[in-house]
Amino acid sequence: MLDSLNWEMAFVFALLVGAITSFLLERIPTDQTAATVFGVLLAAGALPFTQRLPSVEQLLAVFANPAPITIAAMFVLSAALEKCGVIEAMASSLGKLAGLGYRRFLLLLMALVALVSAFINNTPVVMVFLPAVLTLSRTLGVPASKLLIPLSYASIFGGICTLVGTSTNILASGVLSAQGAEPIQMFELAWVGLPLLFLGGIYLTFFADRLLPVRDSLTSLLTPEERKEFVTEAFVQPGSPLVGQTVQDSGLLRGRGVRLLEIVRDAVHESFDDPTSVVLRAGDRLFLRCRPAGLAHARTIDGLALAATRDLGLEAISAYEGSIVEGVIGPRSTLVGQTVEDVNFRQRFRVLLVALHRRGTNLRDRLKEIRLEAGDLLLMMGPDRAIEGVRRSEDVILLDHPPTPSRSMRRKTPWVVATVTAVILASALHILPIAAAALVGVALVMAFGVLTPKEGYDSIEWSIMILIFGMLGLGLAMQTTGAAELLARGLVALASVEVVPEAWAPWVVLAALWLVTTVMTETLSNNATVVLMAPVALSLGAQLQVDPRPFVIATCIAASASFATPIGYQTNTYVYGVAGYRFTDFARIGVPLNLLYFVTGVALVPLIWPF
């Protein structure tokens, strides 16, 4: 098999390994990795001595692929439904189910989320349901950690059932249509998606309580005294004995429950590696986080004006009681990719960032230098008015209470629901291709005034779009160079051993493809995995001289069925930090679910789509 390896295949394999390594290390964003891979392919395709690498024209043609266009349009339609309060109204209705008890509530929660996720992008569904589920967990008397993983999984269950349920399905359909095959129909995947949804729901209903841990969120780890603290500004007076001393030597931090948050010097918010070693100057403004006892201690320090105790003729020095709230950074937040200092967080939101939780780690030090990511959980403190301002900003989704359904757009809800329904029916009845129907739907919701063009552009997760285009370029290179065929031959070789009857060879190859895809999606992402594995699935059909459709369908479903890690699917990443989960919590409940999907999927797919 290796004797057919040429330098162009080796080049593509090197790019593939480099991209996967970059995705795993997470040193740079995934979309930046994808853009770099695409740029390298463009440069290589322009070389005169390349024969098998895709040309520049072929690579640029991926931007005309209808699958990413459809995905972008569905982002906009999902945003229109979200803005009208359709998802929020469904989330708010959960309160009526709180009296049913844990198992019945969990079953109905998963059914509702799966139903909505079958037609709306999974991420906004989970983000809107999060605060409602957190509130109801207290009503039910169960930890949120018993509910949030099932919430994420239910969105995956539902997304698998329809063409528009997840971008993975749309991409797989695009791969088939690009090869001249029949694209995936709107409800075609329901033949296997619904049985998997039923089995997954039953599994979680009976085993979630046993397998899911009792975990605490960030705020639940705080004592009642810590949840209500004071933020105060202190001023170093001219001639103060503190001038020339370090913060540590001044005795300011010796009081119980006093923490230095920030130093403002000459109207500039200074950044110091170790603020306690800073030598104080006259006029320095210190922002302190104090418990009541600490506040009393700070008042006793000579030369430190605290909480407007003197008329200093400066901007008012204030102290206020601060409430601590949790919030998660959404996928379309303008904060993503920026540091706290870049966005001037405290001045922008008028709240203080106390801690940040990311992938099982609580970060409290050097917060200003941390580049924020979608899914980061923020622990913030501020007055009620400022917290309400954060809630309205849409950059941070607060988790303190369920969302209130939008009122301003409620009268336009029927138009939006009718538009989305028309898009689905137009595709299901073959009136229009899904890409055309979705674009018409986007035009209609903008014509109705539900979304402005800018809001439509902002609703598209451009990082995912860049990832998709970059991986489409790499997938094309795998096809043109024969790298996909080489990988397919390796999988076919697994079924060539003498113990495997010839009639069972396609089943064995399908199982191997499913397992490889599952491993990849748990460590990379569902979109990158389906784009990279779909060319291999097509080559498998040619190698075995059978219909490639069951292999592409299997790749599509396995790429979405990410249950064993919190990093393979975006909704898993969001619930990861909110409930204080550990990495192993996903494996404990997710690996059996992966095996259930694997066995059921490998058995059903060839029966519905024969080889």
Provide the pLDDT for residue 359. 67
Tell me the pLDDT tens digit for each residue of 514-550: 999 999 898 888 888 998 888 889 888 888 888 899 9
What token pair was written down for 97? Answer: 């189910």
What token pair was written down for 378? Answer: 């923020």
Provide the pLDDT for residue 6. 79
Conformational region of residue 162, where left means phi above 0, alpha means psi within -120 to 50, and beta covers everything else: beta
State the number of CA atoms in the 13 A half-sphere of 242 facing the CB.
27
Residue 442's nearest CA partner among 420, 475, 411, 413 is: 420
- Say what percent of the chain tops pLDDT 90: 29
Which residues on adjacent β-strands are paired with residue 397?
328
Lowest mean pLDDT segment, chosen from 165-174, 197-206, 438-447, 570-579: 570-579
Q: What whole-number distance in Å separates Cα of residue 421 and Cα of residue 509?
A: 38
Provide the pLDDT for residue 364. 59
Q: What whole-number distance in Å separates Cα of residue 345 and Cα of residue 396?
A: 12
pLDDT class of 84 with cuts at 50, 70, 90: confident
What fold, for 238-311? Alpha-Beta Plaits (3.30.70)
Could you state, in order of their start, the residue ranges of all structural domains in the chain?
68-217+418-459, 238-311
Residue 65's nearest CA partner among 531, 511, 398, 432 is: 531
Tell me the pLDDT tens digit for each residue of 1-37: 555 677 888 898 899 899 888 888 877 888 899 999 9
Provide the pLDDT for residue 112. 93
Conformational region of residue 397, where left means phi above 0, alpha means psi within -120 to 50, and beta covers everything else: beta
CA distance readout (Å), 144 to 150, 151, 209, 216, 592: 10, 10, 11, 8, 21
What token pair was written down for 84? Answer: 């009208």
**What average pLDDT does range 399-410 have in this prediction?**
63
pLDDT class of 315 with cuts at 50, 70, 90: very low
**What average pLDDT does range 452-479 have in this prediction?**
89
Residue 301 has pLDDT above 60, yes or no: yes
Are 169 and 556 within 8 A, CB to CB? yes
Average pLDDT, the chain: 82
Are 84 and 76 within 8 A, CB to CB? no
Work out the angle at residue 420's Cα, subtended by the Cα atoms of residues 70 and 121, and round it to the nearest 5 degrees.
Answer: 55
For the chain, give the number of residues: 611
Q: What whole-number distance in Å separates Cα of residue 322 and Cα of residue 302?
A: 26
Residue 316 has pLDDT above 60, yes or no: no
523 or 312, higher pLDDT: 523
Strands 285-290 and 361-363: unpaired
Contacts of 450 (CB under 8 A, 6+ apart): 80, 83, 84, 409, 412, 415, 416
CA torsion, points 534, 538, 540, 543, in degrees to nearest 10?
A: -160
User: Locate tokens 């841990």: which residue?
Assistant: 213
Q: What whole-number distance in Å separates Cα of residue 387 and Cα of residue 401?
A: 12
Provide the pLDDT for residue 601. 95
**What average pLDDT does range 466-478 have in this prediction?**
90
Residue 80 has pLDDT above 70, yes or no: yes
pLDDT class of 500 with cuts at 50, 70, 90: low
What token pair was written down for 305? Answer: 């004006």
Which residues on adjacent β-strands are paired with residue 235?
285, 305
**What average pLDDT does range 423-431 have in this prediction?**
91
If DSSP states are collapsed to H, E and C, what string results for 172-218? HHHHHHHCCCCCCCCCCCHHHHHHHHHHHHHHHHHHHHHHCCCCCCC
Which residues on adjacent β-strands are paired with residue 304?
236
Residue 451 has pLDDT above 50, yes or no: yes
DSSP-derived secondary structure letter, 260? E
pLDDT class of 358 with cuts at 50, 70, 90: confident
Work out the angle at residue 467's Cα, subtended by the Cα atoms of residues 466 and 472, and round it to the nearest 5 degrees.
Answer: 100
Provide the pLDDT for residue 496. 62
- Torsion sign across C-alpha atoms 524, 158, 396, 289: negative
369 or 592, higher pLDDT: 592
Provide the pLDDT for residue 289. 67
**What number of other Cβ atoms are within 10 A of residue 237's Cβ?**
18
Residue 258 has pLDDT above 80, yes or no: no
- In sequence order, which ranges of 334-381 are alpha helices (DSSP H)? 345-349
pLDDT class of 312 with cuts at 50, 70, 90: very low
Lowest mean pLDDT segment, chosen from 158-167, 269-278, 483-492, 579-588: 269-278
State CA 253 to chain mean position distance: 39
pLDDT class of 558 with cuts at 50, 70, 90: very high
247 or 402, higher pLDDT: 247
Q: What whole-number distance in Å separates Cα of residue 62 and Cα of residue 315?
A: 56
- Say what percent of the chain tops pLDDT 70: 85
Residue 319 main-chain phi, psi, to 5 deg: -135, 140
